[in-house]
Amino acid sequence: MKRILSVMLLTAFLSGAALAVEFTRQQAGKITQSVGDLLDRAHYKGARLNDAVAETHLKNYLDALDFNHMMFLQSDVDEFTEKYSKNLDNLTKAADANPAYQIFERYLKRLESTVTHIGGLLNEKHDFTKDEKFLAQRNKIPWPKTEADAQELWRQRIKFELLNGKLTDEAPAKTAEKITKRYARLQKNMKQFDSSEILQVYLSALGHAFDPHSDYMAPADAKNFDIHNVKLKLNGIGAQLRQDDEGHTEIVNLTPGGPAELSKQLKPKDKIVAVAQGSAEAVDCLDMKLGEVVDMIRGKKGTEVRLTIIPADAVSDSERREIRIVRDEIKLTEQYAFARIVEHVTADGKKQRLGVIDLPQFYQKCAADVEKLLVRLQKENVAGVVLDLRRNGGGLLNEAVELTGLFIKKGPVVQVRNPKQIDVLDDEDARVTYDGPLIVAVGHHSASASEIVAAALQDYGRALIVGDLATHGKGTVQTLYPLAQWMGTKQVVDPGQLKFTISKFYRIAGGTTQKHGVTPDIILPNVLDYLETGEAFLPNVLDADNIPPAKYQRADRLNGGLDELRKNSSDRTTKDKDFSYIREDIELVKKQRADKTISLNEQQRIQEKKEAEGRVEARKKERDARPISADKVFLVKTETVDKNQPLIAVIPPKPVAAAAKDATAKSKGTPQTKTTPQPAKKETKAPEDAEEPEDTTDAGKAIIDVYLRETLSILGDYARQQARNGRGEIVAVPR
């Protein structure tokens, strides 16, 4: 059954067609009918497309367009409710998608009125001495009843944004200009929505009436999903683009080793104003939607694209030149698995090597990439390995099964329940790639396939799970189904694809990760534990339940040593200054959650700002005073293994001991758990004891954040504990 499921999911992902042109209303209606029919017949929940679903569908669509309930009036909502709340199901079955466009037109009308009104609000004299509060998140608050109520909401909103500018010492005119451009850009972007994009929002709202993970993908989004979540590669020039406020397409950065970088003809902040294919006439792309520009630039490997650009250093927009670049395959290597070796110097002066494998998502052949990294880590004599899934939101089910198999002999990995039966997906390969001390690091963003791996290795007793209070809690499986297969192959345009839930997965012990997630063996404090994050907080979430356990044999690697590991970790985190800062931030978040309003009183906000800045400065001072860590970090990429390259030490952009100091710098009291550091300049003189070459190219990956630092300390304890118990030797059997 494992093979059948894997193939079914994979073929759906690989069957994406070319981008569609704008849908006619008739085509949109047929697509709507097909999506409704598929959800009604094939969704795991078994709910019928009826009045109850129609009511939720309408609510979801209104919220998708106006999440904070500030554009529509209550009279709009009442009108749509009376007209559609008990009728959208019937219109869907009758191939009528007109409600999507009628409601969207009303949204554009309200948006235009709002943008027009903002100019007057910016010119008003606002009193920042009043004791006034603003609620920024209004998604659970009713829509404004009247135009006057709406104008009062927007007065508070604009006052809030103006006050933010004052608090940063920005000139009032500059703040007003930014606000004007912000809402003008919003209006422009929404007016550029074509019929397929409107339909995508509308039909995803229908999918969400069944569960949070069922979405309709218009052709453009289906293609991008395939690129960024499955294949991790595309054919193009290797440039990240954005659209500026004047409607120009601007270069953000260039992919290292990509055609654009190698050509030496493009650089960041260059503006693309026209695109041509081969010898065809150039197409002006000023004010064109970014997705359309990207689609023109992408193309078949080996073909030429001509770009007309305004160089970043041009004196005026009239200074233009044409460049020619041959497209090539671009691999999105930033999402590939990679490893680090952390060489830690213990208190007694001994060196201990520990490995970390970071897997951002479960893409095609990621298990094979992780296997390569595991083999190399063992050649480098690591004492243990951390599999870091903290930021991994999931991916391909079969890859999760294969990856789990790298650490166990053979046996069940996950149970998959569809409406008719329960199937057990097994690792059928008895070979083990890595048999040494193993920790799986998880967090609130670990979801789906990540939870399958963590849960299986925990149930086997094969790995120690370390992280936040719980993982995300997504225990459902989706398939991406091309609608052309349902509607027939004689479609004039590609109708897109439907991602919908077909089954739920369960732990081999019989429990579920749905809503509950995976509870780590050792829990580290995190601010996210006190925010509404996770599956349980999503609307229309599927319930949690249990099934009988599968037959499997536990490895019980912890062998009664968990209490000792917990105590050691607790002792460290109690004394650790960074964790004391995290506990302080948790208390701040608790207070913020108790009162979600924001003061519009300038003096009160200045005081809050001073307190936050003082807190950040005190932490920075304490961190800067710490001794520089003697630990070394070596980066191991899959290409490092493929080319059998030697280890290269990566230099962090700041002392490792102070690596977490930016975590709260921009948060006004609410910390972030990761930073985006800039590479440091390479030192002119290497440390005296350096034996390996050093590199700053991947400097950000040299940083060991506070959570990973403690996880590695736990791993060090665990490895020593295993050695005492006679399990210190690492056994590697190539697969």
Q: Tell me how far CA of residue 271 lies from CA of 295, 306, 322, 336, 357, in angstroms.
A: 16, 13, 12, 29, 38
pLDDT band at residue 520 under the 50/70/90 scheme: very high
The pLDDT assigned to 727 comes to 64
Strands 464-467 and 522-523: parallel
Same fold, 233-331 and 335-482+503-724: no
* Tokens 């960074």 found at: 578
Q: Tell me how far CA of residue 410 lies from CA of 407, 426, 427, 566, 646, in angstroms.
A: 9, 7, 5, 29, 33
Tell me what the mean pLDDT of segment 576-585 comes to: 97
* Helix locations, 192-301, DSSP H: 195-207, 219-226, 259-263, 290-297
pLDDT band at residue 697 under the 50/70/90 scheme: low
Tell me what the mean pLDDT of segment 575-583 comes to: 97
pLDDT in tens, 407-456: 999 999 999 999 889 999 999 999 999 999 999 999 999 999 999 999 99
Residue 675, pLDDT > 80, answer no
CB atoms within 10 A of CB 405: 24
The set of catalytic residues is 448, 459, 474
Tell me what the mean pLDDT of segment 705-730 comes to: 86
Please provide the average confidence, as pLDDT, over all residues in the chain: 87
pLDDT in tens, 475-519: 999 999 999 999 986 767 899 999 999 999 999 999 999 999 999
125: CB partners within 8 A, 6+ apart: none
pLDDT band at residue 643 under the 50/70/90 scheme: very high
Residue 673, pLDDT > 50, answer no
pLDDT in tens, 74-109: 999 999 999 999 999 999 999 999 999 999 999 999
At position 444, the amino acid (one-letter code) is: H
Q: What is the DSSP string of 639-664?
A: HHHHTTPPPEEEPPSS-GGGGGGGTT
Percent of the chain scored above 70 by pLDDT?
89
What are the E-state strand segments in 34-187?
Answer: 133-134
The pLDDT assigned to 696 comes to 55
pLDDT in tens, 269-294: 999 999 999 788 999 988 888 888 88
Domain 233-331: give its CATH superfamily. Answer: PDZ domain (2.30.42.10)
* Helix, strand and coil percent figures for the chain, each rounded to 5: 40, 15, 40
Domain ranges within the chain, ordered by starting residue: 25-214, 233-331, 335-482+503-724
The pLDDT assigned to 464 comes to 98
Which of 116-125, 260-269, 673-682 is predicted least confidently?
A: 673-682
d(CA 440, CA 463): 7
CATH architecture of 335-482+503-724: Alpha-Beta Complex (3.90)
CB 468 within 8 A of CB 443: yes
pLDDT in tens, 223-237: 888 777 777 777 888
Which DSSP symbol is given to 383? Answer: S
Residue 115 gets the label, from left (phi > 0), alpha (psi -120 to 50) or beta, of alpha
Which of 139-143, 242-246, 606-610, 706-710 is predicted least confidently?
A: 242-246
Largest pairwise CA distance in the chain: 77
pLDDT in tens, 20-71: 458 999 999 999 999 999 999 999 999 999 999 999 999 999 999 999 999 9
d(CA 279, CA 131): 65
pTM of the model: 0.85
Structure-block tokens of residue 130: 């009043």
The pLDDT assigned to 133 comes to 95
CB 458 within 8 A of CB 521: yes
Residue 298, pLDDT > 80, answer yes
Phi/psi for 41 (5° steps) reads -95, -35
Residue 147, pLDDT > 70, answer yes
CB atoms within 10 A of CB 370: 25
323: CB partners within 8 A, 6+ apart: 263, 265, 266, 306, 307, 309
The pLDDT assigned to 332 comes to 76
The pLDDT assigned to 695 comes to 57
CB 224 within 8 A of CB 84: no
Percent of the chain scored above 90 by pLDDT?
72
Tell me what the mean pLDDT of segment 319-334 comes to: 86
The pLDDT assigned to 425 comes to 97
Tell me what the mean pLDDT of segment 635-663 comes to: 72
